Amino acid sequence: MFELTYKSVAASGISNADILAIRETAISVNKTNDITGCLVFYKNQFIQILEGDEEIVQKVFSKIVEDSRHLNVQVLYEGEKDQRFFPDWNMAFTDISVSLGEDAEVKSYANNLLLLSEFIEKPTTTLKMFWRGINKLIINPTSL
């Protein structure tokens, strides 16, 4: 099993319709290719972890890099692992910038999201980088 975590900045002028289109494409492509993971969008930034067959994950990621809606795409980490960490999710998607407006609510949501990371028995480096990226993006954005 292969996993890849990346972050990117949304192109300026990206709309809610664009974000939803990205989500729908991710769900469709990932379901077809047996890829699971988690996608978070917040303050005009994406962070995503993809897990599945290495060749397929790399092909999907290359399409993301080519997508004009994503800028400054950076791989945070990639590598092999024994099992999926998101086996029941074709693609979890959270746009907390839309669903939560108040900073206190966002921080509460982020803390709950980060608590999920503590339930994983043997997190890989890639997964740790995903959670660290979420933490930096939401809790401590000045450290990005």
Report the predicted TM-score, pTM, of the whole model to 2 decimal places. 0.71
More confident residue, 143 or 29: 29
Q: For residues 73 and 64, is the Cβ–Cβ distance under 8 A?
A: yes
List of domains in the chain: 2-143 (3.30.70.100)
- Give every CB contact of residue 65 below 8 A, 6+ residues apart in sequence: 73
Answer yes or no: are the C-beta atoms of 86 and 23 closer than 8 Å: no
How high is the pLDDT of residue 77?
Answer: 87
Reported as a pLDDT band with limits 50, 70 and 90, residue 143 is very low
* Strand 36-42 versus strand 92-95 pairing type: parallel
pLDDT in tens, 56-100: 999 999 999 999 999 999 998 899 988 888 777 654 455 545 444
d(CA 84, CA 46): 21
Percentage of the chain modeled with pLDDT above 90: 27
Q: What is the mean pLDDT of the chain?
A: 77
Residue 144: its pLDDT value, please? 46
pLDDT of residue 50: 92
